[in-house]
Amino acid sequence: MTAQRLKGVIESILFVCGESVSVDSLATALDVTLIQIEQALYLLETEYAQEGRGLHLKRFANQVQIASKADYAQEVEQVLQPAQHMTLSQSALETLVIIAYRQPVTRQEIEAVRGVKCDYSIQSLMQKDLIRESGRKETLGRPILYGTTERFLSHFGLKSLEDLPVISKPDTPPEPAE
C-alpha cells in the first residue's frame, strides 16, 4: 500500500467509525507498521491544519479520532440552528424610537407620546432583547424606566447612544397624562 493510499484508507476508517480508534488496531488490521501509521497520521494532521479543510485530527493516548474543526463551529451552528428571522411591527418600532431617544423613560411617558397603550410593544421589544429595564423613576408608584440594550447598539452598528442620528424633535413634547 502506498503512503498516499494508507492516508486515504485511514481517513476513510476514522470517518466511518466516528469514535476513536487505537493506533495499534489500525496497524494490525491494515497489516502495516506503527511507523507507517504514524507517518500517515502526521500527514493527515498537517493537511487538516490548512484553512481549506474542515476536519481536525484528535490524538489522545494511543487513540486517534476525526472531529470537526473548532474554528468553524460558528458556521456549523448557523446551519444547524439558523437564526430566526423576525420583523418589528410599526408600533414596536415607534416605541423603540421613543425609548432610544428619551431613555430612561417610563411606560406612561411613552404612551403619552404615542397616544396609545404600549404594553405589548414593550413586552415584544424586551423579548427581542432590544430594550431593558434600567431602574425605577422616583415618583408616585415608582414606575419602571426603560432603556436600550447593547444588542440595540450592535444591531444598528452604533458605538454608543451618542451615535444615534440627530433628528429635529417636535418643539414641545406633551406631558405624560398621569
Partner 1 sequence: MELVFELKSFRGPLDLLLHLIGNAKIDIRDIFVSEVTEQYIRIVGQSGIMDLEEASGFIQMAATLLLIKSRSMLPVLAVSEEGDPEEQLIRQLEEYAYYQQIAARMQGLEQAASRMFTKLPEEFPLKPVTYELEGLTLENLILAFARLSARQAENTGEEAVQQALILMDEHTVPRCMAEILRKLRKGSQRFSSLLSCAPTRSEVVTLFLALLELLKQGRLSARQEENSNDIILSRGSRGLSEA
Report d(CA 7, CA 42) in Å as an integer.
9
**Interaction with partner 1 in 35-94: which residues (CB under 8 A)?**
56, 58, 65-70, 73, 76-77, 80-88, 90-91, 93-94
CB of 146 to its own copies, least distance (A): 32
Q: Which is nearer to partner 1, 142 or 178 (CB)?
A: 178
Alpha-carbon gap, residue 45 to 9, rounded angstroms: 14
CA–CA separation, 115 vs 95, rounded Å?
A: 11
Is the Cβ of residue 42 or residue 120 nearer to its own copies in the bound state? 42
- Note whether 154 binds partner 1 by CB under 8 A: yes
Of the residues 8, 27, 101, 103, which one makes contact with partner 1 according to CB under 8 A: 101
Nearest to 167 by CA among 121, 90, 95, 100: 100
Cell numbers placing 57: 485530527
Measured from the CB atom, the residue of 28 and 33 that comes closer to partner 1 is: 28
How many angstroms separate the CA atoms of 147 and 130, rounded?
A: 9
In the complex with its own copies, which residue's Cβ is closer, 52 or 170? Answer: 52
Q: How far apart are the first and last CA of the chain?
A: 86
Residue 102 CB: number of other CB atoms within 10 A? 16
Among the residue ranges 72-80, 107-115, 154-162, 163-171, the one whose residues contact its own copies (CB under 8 A): 72-80
Binding site for its own copies (CB under 8 A): 2, 4-5, 7-17, 21, 25-26, 28-30, 43, 50-55, 66, 68-69, 72, 75-76, 78-80, 82
